[in-house]
Structure 1
Amino acid sequence: MSYLRLVVLVLTLFVNSLRGLWELSILKNTFIVDIGKKGDGEMVRFYCPVPEETSVFWRAKGNKRNGRNLKTLVREAMDAGNFTCHLSNGDIEDYKVLLIHKYNVSLNEKILSNSKQPVECEAKNYSGHFRCSWLGTKTDVVYVFEAQRGGYTIHCENPLRREHNKYEVNCQDNESCQYGEESQYIEVVLHAVQEKRYENHTQVFMLRDITKPDPPSDLKKSGKNSNVSLNWKYPKTWCNIHSFFPLIFNVNITKENKGAPELHKDIEVPQLTLKHKGKLTFCVQARDMYYKSSWSEWTCSMHNKSRKKHKKKRPEKSPKRS
């Protein structure tokens, strides 16, 4: 069975790597033409699905072309666009949308030109939910996002634009079993369409590769004299059964007037005891104990600020009446 999956994957990658004309299945009647740097172009042929005796014509690049078959040479974006097949009375019978995909071009020529790998994905736990994001500086771009694992499709919401040109999409793998070992990769594809141009960006990962817990919560300091106990809790978004999904912690302690901070690594329980008199602050971050994925962001305790005593003001004496 594993061999069969491997063969299917190899065939899929092989088919997707062919240059020429191919259909973009996620958008109806949309086709992509792959054009290299040389700009030799691609001869594109479309067929209007009507009986042979039906009189039809195509509207292409502003021109009228009679017949069911349309042949056009595509070299650049101006050659792409909408192609419509009309009956003799002018009614539209069929249509095709043709987009240009330029490959082997510089980063500056791409629709998403901020990074070679613009899509970043992250999960807070193993529930099957993950979020992907990217930066899009151009406002006239349409994004379509899809994800799959093995032979099934993972549900993803429509991409939303956030602040600072950041786009996000939430996905939920309902077939994922958080208590089982992952055996198949998740593949996500971001499709970007800008007028007559097209490009896509792909990421392949396991959930465990992209898991980054939220920071620990409820940081507290307790103790008397020189015995100090630092305590914190697992993040609320982490898996409930901590014995099955344990975290390890790094603790960074800053003591008042004591110079450089102390870093305590790979603490296996949400508690640390130490000897210290005086004020201190501590910061904690978390990571999966058994898989070296990403550490959470740091979260820090706060100083206990002492209240300053204010002297009570004496009431001013009222002026004597003359």
Structure 2
Amino acid sequence: MLALLGLLLFLVPAQALTAFPPKFQAGKLSQDVVVRCDTSEQHVSWTLNGDEEPMAELVPEGQKLTILGLDLPATGNYSCWAGPVLLDSTYVVLSNTREEEINVSCQAESYNGSFHCSWPGPASAIFRACLIRSDGAVGPWVPVAGGQGRFNASLADPLFCPFGEELRPLQLHLEGLSDTSYLNLSRHFFLRDIVRPEPPQELMLQQRGEQLQLAWAPPASWPLPKSYFALLYHLQYELHNGTQVEQFVEGAEEAPVPAGAGRVRISCRDPYSPPAWSPWSAWMGLGAPQ
């Protein structure tokens, strides 16, 4: 599924990275890369992953080092020294140019400007994420959690206005790094296109004369007022004989219970956005209406 990423990022390092190094540099496969030592010293020595005689074609020249034809054995931590004194270090990795191989999925529960993204990736890699808002402002890097082959990040645009029209998309920027390779990609989207509400809540039965009425409330995370942020509800009743009855309700938060219903569940969505229904609520047992 991740062809080039599998070739590069899936190579498990001897000591996996746990955080982005202060300095790193990405180069293309088989091309020369110049690493510079940030120092005023004119005469420095170089090591690769602590090895003074690395198995790579290296050409030192004062404060710079040229890596001839970057390949996997030439990736790693390059350090420059003045005798026993460490002056500077740069992590050199291979650049991954196949952005489209990564399937990034983003979802928002509301119009408050916050959302969650996830994508597949190897355990040997680390990621960081930042948000470029619709006004062009760049947010801070946020931590990315990883485990069991997936990475997750939660981001928010603090200036997002739920009542305003989205004229320009948000931009998610991701950087991924292992001890051998680097991935840099961006995804553009409008928040309105990734909204998927949480399930409705507070399902309850109310007696209305001889009729039972089912009532519910919008998801707790859904914005107010209800008149502006309307929801379309999808009710699914299951009769005692196993037959399922569908019902759609808009502009209300209650509905009569069909005769013979044994249990019900409910979902919702924004009627004006793409049809992203919320997950179903848990089944609620009703019993036979009297």
2:33 is aligned, of 41, 44, 47, to 44
Question: What residue in structure 2 maps to residue 203 of structure 1?
Answer: 187
Post-superposition CA distance 1:139-171 (Å, at most 9, x none) = 322222222124212356412246x44432221
Q: Which amino acid aligns with 2:90?
A: K
Q: Which amino acid aligns with 2:27?
A: V
- Separation in 1, partners of 2:89, 2:263: 66
SS at match of 1:153: coil
Which runs of structure 2 are paired with 1:100-119 in the superposition (5 Å)?
Answer: 100-103=94-97, 116-119=101-104
- Separation in 2, partners of 1:91, 1:222: 78
Q: Structure 1: which 5+ runs fail to align? A: 1-25, 36-40, 105-109, 307-322
- Separation in 2, partners of 1:222, 1:85: 76
Contact residue 154 and residue 171 of structure 1 kept, 8 A: no
Cα drift, residue 239 of structure 1 = 0.7
Cα drift, residue 223 of structure 1 = 3.6
Cα drift, residue 221 of structure 1 = 2.7
1:54 is aligned, of 27, 30, 42, to 42
Which runs of structure 2 are paired with 1:92-241 in the superposition (5 Å)?
Answer: 92-103=86-97, 116-136=101-121, 138-149=122-133, 150-155=135-140, 157-161=142-146, 164-223=148-207, 227-241=211-225
Matched, 1:270 2:259: no
TM-score by length of structure 2 reads 0.78
Question: What residue in structure 1 maps to residue 9 of structure 2?
Answer: none
Pick the structure with greater CA Rg. Answer: 1
- Separation in 1, partners of 2:238, 2:63: 78
Q: Which amino acid aligns with 2:78?
A: F
SS at match of 2:192: helix
The number of residues matched between the two structures is: 261
TM-score by length of structure 1 reads 0.71
2:240 is aligned, of 256, 262, 266, to 256
Matched, 1:83 2:66: no
Cα drift, residue 180 of structure 1 = 1.1
Cα drift, residue 224 of structure 1 = 5.9
Q: CA RMSD in A?
A: 2.9
Cα drift, residue 31 of structure 1 = 0.8
Matched, 1:292 2:281: no
Q: Which amino acid aligns with 2:46?
A: W
- Structure 1 pair 225/281, CA: closer, same or farther in 2 (3 Å)? farther
- Separation in 1, partners of 2:222, 2:37: 55
SS at match of 1:42: coil
- Structure 1 pair 94/278, CA: closer, same or farther in 2 (3 Å)? closer
- Separation in 1, partners of 2:182, 2:27: 9
| Range with bigger deviation, 276-285 or 288-297 | 276-285
- Separation in 2, partners of 1:277, 1:260: 12
Cα drift, residue 273 of structure 1 = 2.6
SS at match of 2:32: strand
SS at match of 1:299: coil
- Separation in 1, partners of 2:213, 2:62: 84
Contact residue 223 and residue 229 of structure 1 kept, 8 A: yes
Contact residue 263 and residue 287 of structure 2 kept, 8 A: no
Q: Structure 2: which 5+ runs fail to align? A: 1-19
- Structure 1 pair 160/47, CA: closer, same or farther in 2 (3 Å)? closer
Q: Which amino acid aligns with 2:108?
A: A
SS at match of 1:177: coil
- Structure 1 pair 265/302, CA: closer, same or farther in 2 (3 Å)? closer
Post-superposition CA distance 1:106-152 (Å, at most 9, x none) = xxxx9xxxx9333221111111111112334x332222222212421
SS at match of 1:75: coil
- Separation in 2, partners of 1:302, 1:271: 15
Matched, 1:74 2:69: yes
Question: What residue in structure 2 maps to residue 246 of structure 1?
Answer: 230
- Structure 1 pair 159/131, CA: closer, same or farther in 2 (3 Å)? same
Question: What residue in structure 2 maps to residue 316 of structure 1?
Answer: none
Contact residue 238 and residue 262 of structure 2 kept, 8 A: yes
Cα drift, residue 177 of structure 1 = 1.3
- Structure 1 pair 28/175, CA: closer, same or farther in 2 (3 Å)? same
